[in-house]
Structure 1
Amino acid sequence: MNFIKRLFSYKRKPREYNLPDGWTETKISEDNYITHIPQEQKDKWLIDKWDKDKLPEILLTHGFHLKQDGRAGTIYYVSNDQFCEIYYELSAVPQFDILIFFDSLKEWSQPKREMTEEENIKLKQELTNWLAKEKIKADL
Protein backbone atom coordinates (compact mmCIF):
# COMPACT_ATOMS: atom_id res chain seq x y z
CA MET A 1 0.00 0.00 0.00
CA ASN A 2 2.83 2.41 0.78
CA PHE A 3 4.25 1.92 -2.71
CA ILE A 4 0.91 2.82 -4.32
CA LYS A 5 0.55 5.84 -2.07
CA ARG A 6 4.04 7.04 -3.05
CA LEU A 7 3.28 6.38 -6.70
CA PHE A 8 0.30 8.75 -6.74
CA SER A 9 1.57 11.41 -4.40
CA TYR A 10 4.84 12.89 -3.37
CA LYS A 11 6.22 14.65 -0.35
CA ARG A 12 7.13 18.31 -0.45
CA LYS A 13 7.10 21.45 1.57
CA PRO A 14 3.91 23.50 1.76
CA ARG A 15 3.32 25.62 -1.34
CA GLU A 16 5.00 28.99 -1.32
CA TYR A 17 3.92 29.90 -4.85
CA ASN A 18 0.70 30.09 -6.84
CA LEU A 19 -0.61 27.36 -9.11
CA PRO A 20 -1.56 28.22 -12.71
CA ASP A 21 -5.08 29.56 -13.18
CA GLY A 22 -7.73 26.89 -12.72
CA TRP A 23 -5.43 24.35 -11.09
CA THR A 24 -6.25 23.24 -7.57
CA GLU A 25 -4.39 21.29 -4.99
CA THR A 26 -5.82 18.99 -2.35
CA LYS A 27 -3.86 18.19 0.77
CA ILE A 28 -4.35 14.52 1.56
CA SER A 29 -2.01 14.29 4.55
CA GLU A 30 0.58 16.32 6.41
CA ASP A 31 2.98 16.50 3.48
CA ASN A 32 1.15 14.88 0.53
CA TYR A 33 -0.81 16.77 -2.11
CA ILE A 34 -2.76 15.94 -5.24
CA THR A 35 -2.82 18.52 -8.02
CA HIS A 36 -5.97 18.71 -10.16
CA ILE A 37 -5.56 20.06 -13.69
CA PRO A 38 -8.68 21.32 -15.53
CA GLN A 39 -9.83 19.31 -18.54
CA GLU A 40 -9.51 22.41 -20.74
CA GLN A 41 -5.76 22.52 -20.02
CA LYS A 42 -5.38 18.81 -20.78
CA ASP A 43 -7.29 19.32 -24.07
CA LYS A 44 -4.99 22.21 -24.99
CA TRP A 45 -1.92 20.04 -24.36
CA LEU A 46 -3.40 17.37 -26.64
CA ILE A 47 -4.15 19.85 -29.43
CA ASP A 48 -0.63 21.30 -29.14
CA LYS A 49 0.79 17.76 -29.41
CA TRP A 50 -1.30 17.08 -32.51
CA ASP A 51 -0.10 20.35 -34.07
CA LYS A 52 3.53 19.46 -33.32
CA ASP A 53 3.06 15.99 -34.85
CA LYS A 54 1.36 17.57 -37.92
CA LEU A 55 -1.75 15.44 -37.47
CA PRO A 56 -3.72 17.02 -40.37
CA GLU A 57 -1.06 15.74 -42.78
CA ILE A 58 -1.01 12.32 -41.13
CA LEU A 59 -4.79 11.96 -41.48
CA LEU A 60 -4.48 12.08 -45.27
CA THR A 61 -2.70 8.70 -45.44
CA HIS A 62 -4.14 5.39 -44.26
CA GLY A 63 -1.87 3.28 -42.06
CA PHE A 64 0.69 3.71 -39.30
CA HIS A 65 2.75 6.85 -38.69
CA LEU A 66 5.52 6.98 -36.07
CA LYS A 67 6.21 10.33 -34.36
CA GLN A 68 8.99 10.50 -31.78
CA ASP A 69 9.32 13.09 -29.03
CA GLY A 70 12.49 12.57 -27.02
CA ARG A 71 12.57 9.09 -25.47
CA ALA A 72 8.86 8.55 -26.10
CA GLY A 73 6.44 8.97 -28.93
CA THR A 74 3.20 8.08 -30.60
CA ILE A 75 2.28 5.69 -33.36
CA TYR A 76 -0.80 7.06 -35.09
CA TYR A 77 -3.05 4.58 -36.88
CA VAL A 78 -5.34 6.10 -39.49
CA SER A 79 -8.22 4.07 -40.87
CA ASN A 80 -10.88 5.68 -43.08
CA ASP A 81 -12.36 8.53 -41.05
CA GLN A 82 -10.89 7.62 -37.65
CA PHE A 83 -7.54 7.40 -35.92
CA CYS A 84 -6.02 6.17 -32.67
CA GLU A 85 -2.82 6.87 -30.78
CA ILE A 86 -0.52 4.13 -29.54
CA TYR A 87 2.10 5.34 -27.06
CA TYR A 88 5.64 3.98 -26.86
CA GLU A 89 9.02 4.57 -25.23
CA LEU A 90 12.52 3.80 -26.43
CA SER A 91 13.81 0.58 -24.96
CA ALA A 92 16.83 0.36 -22.69
CA VAL A 93 17.53 -3.26 -23.61
CA PRO A 94 19.11 -4.49 -26.84
CA GLN A 95 16.31 -7.00 -27.59
CA PHE A 96 13.84 -4.21 -28.42
CA ASP A 97 13.95 -0.83 -30.12
CA ILE A 98 10.71 0.39 -28.56
CA LEU A 99 8.27 -0.63 -25.82
CA ILE A 100 4.65 -0.22 -26.91
CA PHE A 101 1.84 0.30 -24.41
CA PHE A 102 -0.73 -1.55 -26.51
CA ASP A 103 -2.76 -2.85 -23.56
CA SER A 104 -3.69 0.73 -22.67
CA LEU A 105 -5.31 1.23 -26.10
CA LYS A 106 -9.04 1.07 -25.43
CA GLU A 107 -10.56 3.75 -27.67
CA TRP A 108 -10.31 5.66 -30.92
CA SER A 109 -9.04 9.21 -30.55
CA GLN A 110 -11.38 10.66 -33.18
CA PRO A 111 -14.23 10.14 -33.33
CA LYS A 112 -14.09 9.46 -29.62
CA ARG A 113 -15.51 5.97 -29.06
CA GLU A 114 -14.58 2.71 -27.43
CA MET A 115 -12.66 0.21 -29.54
CA THR A 116 -14.31 -3.20 -29.96
CA GLU A 117 -12.39 -6.33 -29.06
CA GLU A 118 -12.36 -7.39 -32.72
CA GLU A 119 -10.95 -4.00 -33.78
CA ASN A 120 -8.31 -4.25 -31.07
CA ILE A 121 -7.20 -7.74 -32.13
CA LYS A 122 -7.11 -6.74 -35.81
CA LEU A 123 -5.15 -3.58 -35.01
CA LYS A 124 -2.60 -5.50 -32.94
CA GLN A 125 -2.02 -7.92 -35.82
CA GLU A 126 -1.67 -5.07 -38.34
CA LEU A 127 0.72 -3.25 -36.00
CA THR A 128 2.84 -6.40 -35.59
CA ASN A 129 3.02 -6.81 -39.39
CA TRP A 130 3.90 -3.13 -39.89
CA LEU A 131 6.65 -3.26 -37.25
CA ALA A 132 8.16 -6.36 -38.91
CA LYS A 133 8.03 -4.67 -42.32
CA GLU A 134 9.73 -1.54 -40.90
CA LYS A 135 12.29 -3.74 -39.07
CA ILE A 136 11.39 -2.24 -35.69
CA LYS A 137 11.89 -4.62 -32.77
CA ALA A 138 9.07 -3.93 -30.35
CA ASP A 139 7.68 -5.37 -27.16
CA LEU A 140 3.90 -5.20 -27.12
Structure 2
Amino acid sequence: MSHKHAVLSAAGPYVGELRVMTRGTDRFVLIAAQHPGLRDARVSSTSALETEVVTTSLPMRLIYLIPSGPGGRGVWRYETGAGEDGLPLAIGIEVGTQRVITAPIHPTRSASCLARLGLPGVDDETCDLR
Protein backbone atom coordinates (compact mmCIF):
# COMPACT_ATOMS: atom_id res chain seq x y z
CA MET A 1 0.00 0.00 0.00
CA SER A 2 1.38 3.44 -0.85
CA HIS A 3 0.42 7.09 -0.97
CA LYS A 4 1.98 9.64 -3.34
CA HIS A 5 1.85 13.42 -3.40
CA ALA A 6 3.43 15.91 -5.85
CA VAL A 7 5.36 18.73 -4.16
CA LEU A 8 6.99 21.95 -5.33
CA SER A 9 9.91 23.05 -3.19
CA ALA A 10 12.85 25.45 -3.33
CA ALA A 11 14.97 22.48 -4.50
CA GLY A 12 12.55 21.77 -7.37
CA PRO A 13 9.52 19.54 -7.89
CA TYR A 14 9.33 16.01 -6.52
CA VAL A 15 6.82 13.29 -5.77
CA GLY A 16 6.70 12.26 -2.11
CA GLU A 17 5.56 8.75 -1.30
CA LEU A 18 4.70 6.77 1.83
CA ARG A 19 4.80 3.01 1.36
CA VAL A 20 4.34 0.04 3.70
CA MET A 21 6.52 -2.96 2.89
CA THR A 22 6.70 -6.46 4.36
CA ARG A 23 10.20 -7.71 5.11
CA GLY A 24 10.18 -11.41 5.94
CA THR A 25 7.32 -12.97 7.91
CA ASP A 26 7.14 -10.61 10.90
CA ARG A 27 8.68 -7.26 9.94
CA PHE A 28 6.68 -4.35 8.53
CA VAL A 29 8.34 -1.10 7.45
CA LEU A 30 6.95 2.35 6.66
CA ILE A 31 9.13 3.92 3.97
CA ALA A 32 9.15 7.61 3.03
CA ALA A 33 10.45 8.14 -0.51
CA GLN A 34 11.21 11.23 -2.55
CA HIS A 35 11.25 11.05 -6.36
CA PRO A 36 13.27 14.12 -7.45
CA GLY A 37 12.20 15.91 -10.64
CA LEU A 38 8.73 14.34 -10.87
CA ARG A 39 5.57 16.44 -10.88
CA ASP A 40 3.00 13.69 -11.47
CA ALA A 41 2.12 11.49 -8.47
CA ARG A 42 0.81 8.78 -10.80
CA VAL A 43 4.35 7.81 -11.85
CA SER A 44 7.48 6.67 -10.02
CA SER A 45 11.19 6.74 -10.67
CA THR A 46 14.07 4.38 -10.11
CA SER A 47 16.08 7.15 -8.42
CA ALA A 48 13.94 7.51 -5.29
CA LEU A 49 15.58 8.67 -2.05
CA GLU A 50 14.16 6.34 0.63
CA THR A 51 14.12 6.40 4.43
CA GLU A 52 12.70 3.73 6.75
CA VAL A 53 10.52 5.70 9.18
CA VAL A 54 8.81 3.04 11.30
CA THR A 55 9.59 -0.67 11.76
CA THR A 56 7.28 -3.05 13.64
CA SER A 57 6.53 -6.74 14.08
CA LEU A 58 2.77 -6.06 13.87
CA PRO A 59 0.95 -5.57 10.55
CA MET A 60 1.00 -1.92 9.46
CA ARG A 61 -1.38 -0.14 7.06
CA LEU A 62 -2.02 3.33 5.69
CA ILE A 63 -5.47 4.72 6.41
CA TYR A 64 -7.10 7.79 4.79
CA LEU A 65 -9.63 10.37 6.03
CA ILE A 66 -11.90 10.88 3.02
CA PRO A 67 -14.03 14.08 2.91
CA SER A 68 -17.50 12.58 3.26
CA GLY A 69 -19.81 11.44 5.99
CA PRO A 70 -21.90 13.25 8.61
CA GLY A 71 -21.21 16.96 8.82
CA GLY A 72 -18.39 16.69 6.27
CA ARG A 73 -16.02 15.44 8.97
CA GLY A 74 -14.77 12.61 6.84
CA VAL A 75 -14.67 8.84 7.02
CA TRP A 76 -11.55 6.73 7.66
CA ARG A 77 -10.93 4.18 4.87
CA TYR A 78 -8.12 1.87 3.83
CA GLU A 79 -8.34 2.98 0.19
CA THR A 80 -8.29 6.47 -1.28
CA GLY A 81 -11.02 5.61 -3.78
CA ALA A 82 -11.14 6.38 -7.48
CA GLY A 83 -10.87 10.15 -7.03
CA GLU A 84 -14.57 11.01 -7.08
CA ASP A 85 -14.47 11.51 -3.29
CA GLY A 86 -11.70 14.11 -3.53
CA LEU A 87 -8.26 14.16 -1.95
CA PRO A 88 -7.79 12.79 1.59
CA LEU A 89 -8.00 15.30 4.45
CA ALA A 90 -5.48 13.29 6.48
CA ILE A 91 -3.44 10.12 6.38
CA GLY A 92 -2.85 7.75 9.27
CA ILE A 93 -0.60 4.83 10.10
CA GLU A 94 -2.28 1.88 11.76
CA VAL A 95 -0.13 -0.70 13.58
CA GLY A 96 -2.07 -3.81 14.49
CA THR A 97 -5.51 -2.34 15.25
CA GLN A 98 -4.30 0.97 16.72
CA ARG A 99 -3.78 4.24 14.81
CA VAL A 100 -0.39 5.48 15.97
CA ILE A 101 0.25 8.44 13.64
CA THR A 102 -2.19 10.88 12.04
CA ALA A 103 -1.10 13.77 9.82
CA PRO A 104 -3.28 16.31 8.00
CA ILE A 105 -2.83 16.76 4.25
CA HIS A 106 -2.90 20.25 2.76
CA PRO A 107 -3.12 19.58 -1.01
CA THR A 108 -3.48 23.28 -1.89
CA ARG A 109 -0.41 24.39 0.08
CA SER A 110 3.28 24.33 -0.77
CA ALA A 111 5.08 21.77 1.41
CA SER A 112 8.28 23.83 1.53
CA CYS A 113 6.31 26.95 2.53
CA LEU A 114 4.54 25.02 5.31
CA ALA A 115 7.88 23.66 6.48
CA ARG A 116 9.27 27.21 6.60
CA LEU A 117 6.26 28.93 8.23
CA GLY A 118 4.81 26.07 10.26
CA LEU A 119 1.09 25.93 11.06
CA PRO A 120 0.48 29.65 10.20
CA GLY A 121 1.36 28.75 6.59
CA VAL A 122 -1.96 26.91 6.27
CA ASP A 123 -3.74 30.28 6.18
CA ASP A 124 -0.95 32.32 4.54
CA GLU A 125 -1.65 33.24 0.88
CA THR A 126 2.04 32.99 0.03
CA CYS A 127 1.78 29.21 0.58
CA ASP A 128 -0.92 28.79 -2.10
CA LEU A 129 0.03 26.36 -4.88
CA ARG A 130 -0.33 27.90 -8.30
**TM-score class normalised by the smaller sequence:** under 0.3
Return the structure number with greater strand share: 2
Q: Which has the higher contact order (CA 8 A, sep 6+)?
A: 2
